[in-house]
A and B are shown apart, each in its own frame.
Chain A
Amino acid sequence: MRQRVRSAWLFLAPMLLVLAAAAGWPLSRTVYFSFTDASLSDLDARQWVGFANYVSVLRMPSGRVIHDGLLLDPVWWSAVWNTVRFAVVSVTCETILGMVVALVLNAEFPGRGIVRAAILIPWAIPTIVSAKMWQWMLNDQFGIINVVLINLGLIDHKIAWTASADTAMAAVLIVDIWKTTPFMALLILAALQMLPREIIEVAKLDGANPWQIFWRVTLPLIRPAVMVAVIFRALDALRIFDLIYVLTPNNAHTKSMSVFARENLFEFDKFAYGSAASTLLFLILALLTILTIRIGRISLEGGR
């Protein structure tokens, strides 16, 4: 037996080493950098500066006091707000639409296989490619969406969807919802197909209409699976980078926390400041994960 335990660690070692080197160690270095004044051009010439990247108070000889740091940076807070807003709206829409698609696919009708194959296509397309495809369709001069909307008389002038302040976030949301609803739909569909048919048959015999069956029987039964999918999606949405970076470059109205962090790390030569932003993003996500696990456990126990 002891020999088996030893061989277990032997088999685990390579995987653990790779994970530690690719995830654990870099994460700890990012946190460390956030307490220094490291710059991209010379990472080694750095000094410990404590929490100065997060918040600092500078007293000028003239007597003026300057407050500085990430926690007081309006650009950072706007990135936080953008990300949270994006996550809440996108996950809500994806869950509702995913539910609709899943219910459709759960019904038996000729051509169901084709529909299921069709909804896999948005999911299969790389994010960067879907960003470019939609950027082209949303193009202000030649985009098909403006052309169609003008022909239908819904708008009277061409809209610069991805550039203008009012619509940039909407554009990001449209593309993300288009791309990710299939994922939600498939997860919900899997939960639906695990439901025993008898329960719904019984509800039908009791004279419940489809609406009642959905709200009183189906939804409560698939709720745990849906919640897991929602949590996964929410964590994913909070770290969004690719889509925003490519679809709406350099737009203050869509800049997410991840975009803010990378920008400071590699484009603005504020490596330490970017590290601080990365660290905060990690903390926020870690906290949310722990919180959802806690709440999930409590509600599960309450349900028993």
Chain B
Amino acid sequence: MWLLKRAAFYLLVGAIVLIAVFPFYYAIVTSLKSGTELFQADLWPKAPGLGNYRNVLAEGAFARNLLNSLVVSGAVVALSLFLGVTAAYALARIRFRGRSALLFAILSVSMFPPVAVLAGLFELVRMFGLYNSLFALIFSYMIFTLPFTVWVLTAFVRDLPVEVEEAAILDGATPWIIITRIFLPLMWPALATTGLLAFIGAWNEFLFALTFTSNDARRTVPVAIALLSGNSQFEIPWGNIMAASVIVTVPLVMLVLIFQRKIVSGLTAGGVKG
């Protein structure tokens, strides 16, 4: 009986792992196949080759798209952390009227359906001549990274001991000095978590990137992959698409696996506490 239970348990564990990992494994296998082999559902490439990767990186603007994604995600992380840290300090440490209402308003922004701001953002982006530029993306991504960043960082700063700060105030330190010299070094764990989640969010974003860019050279990778097509409508280049997918996903999976604990704690801070 005990043995049967154990066996059933490990069967369940095996099924979970298989279902979770298989699609990505199959994408890797497909990306290594070429020619007619692509159209046979084998679980192992008979003649593995990197041809699809060469095609994707050489043809079109995919390398450029990768660079765009990196630039946008990097800028989004830097900007939302900067704005988030200063705001979190004020929200967590200084008492002023309307503070909790303000926190609630900021959180409510993260409930916005992105489509609801799309029309207004489009007007704004065109008015400032940012259409088809990466600035439009960096700016619009603040909608979903900023509320989350502010929320998590505020919770983190609130839990830091007050004594360090009080000593600094007695020494006559200004709030700016307090933030940069005292809080910033203590905040690394929270900064890493929120920065990572902001990076993933920006790297994966699709709706704004699809709407605010119009040519290959400006697209980010999700849009490039969605629009990757062959010579005709009926000839979808699955090998290339899978190669591109693997290129885009591998760094992300590595990041997530390396920073597993940080991400899980960040998700629960954003999800459960929020």
Contact = CB atoms under 8 A, between A and B. Distances in A.
Given A115-B17, A121-B253, A134-B23, A282 B112 contact: yes
Nearest to A101: B16
Given A4-B175, A128-B222, A265 B119 contact: yes
Contacts of B256: 120-121, 123-124
Interface string A112-138: 001111111111111111111110110
Interface stretch (A63-71, A84-92, A139-147, A196-204): A139-147
Contact of A4 (B94, B116, B248): B94
A109 B5 CA distance: 13
The main secondary structure of chain A at its interface with chain B is: helix
A186 interface: yes
Interface stretch (B47-55, B56-64, B187-195, B203-211): B203-211
B112 A23 contact: yes
Interface residues of A, number: 93
Interface in A23-67: 23, 25-30, 33, 43
Contacts of B9: 104, 107, 109
A248 interface: no
Interface string B14-38: 0011011101101100100000001
B253 A278 contact: no
Contact of B271 (A15, A101, A229): A229
Contacts of A33: 119-120, 123
Given A118-B20, A229-B272, A125 B96 contact: no
B196 to A, nearest CB: 11
A246 interface: yes
A242 B211 CA distance: 12
Interface residues of B, number: 87
A228 B274 CA distance: 8
Nearest to B146: A19
B260 interface: yes
A4 to B, nearest CB: 5
A8 B96 contact: yes
B28 to A, nearest CB: 10
Most chain B beta carbons < 10 A, residue from A136, A235, A239: A136
A11 B89 contact: yes
Contact of B225 (A132, A186, A239): A132
Contacts of A186: 264, 267-268
Given A14-B87, A19-B146, A104-B16, 19 more contacts: A5-B96, A18-B83, A19-B109, A19-B143, A28-B120, A29-B124, A117-B257, A121-B21, A121-B253, A124-B253, A127-B206, A129-B27, A129-B249, A132-B225, A142-B41, A187-B268, A235-B111, A261-B118, A281-B113
Interface of A: 4-5, 7-9, 11-12, 14-16, 18-19, 21-23, 25-30, 33, 43, 100-101, 104, 107, 109, 111, 114-134, 136-137, 139, 141-144, 147-148, 178, 182-183, 186-187, 190-191, 225, 228-229, 232, 235, 238-239, 241-242, 245-246, 257-258, 261-262, 265-266, 271, 274-275, 278-279, 281-282, 285-286, 289
20 contacts: A15-B150, A19-B142, A26-B118, A26-B120, A104-B12, A109-B9, A120-B263, A122-B23, A122-B24, A125-B24, A126-B252, A129-B249, A132-B245, A144-B41, A187-B268, A229-B272, A239-B115, A241-B207, A262-B207, A281-B115
The 8 closest A-B pairs by CB, nearest first: A26-B120, A29-B120, A239-B113, A282-B116, A8-B94, A8-B90, A15-B87, A26-B117
Interface of B: 9-10, 12-13, 16-17, 19-21, 23-24, 26-27, 30, 38-41, 83-84, 86-87, 89-91, 94-96, 102, 106, 108-109, 111-124, 126, 139-140, 142-143, 146-147, 150, 174-175, 179, 200, 203-204, 206-207, 211, 221-223, 225-226, 238, 241-242, 245, 248-249, 252-253, 255-257, 260, 263-264, 267-268, 271-272, 274
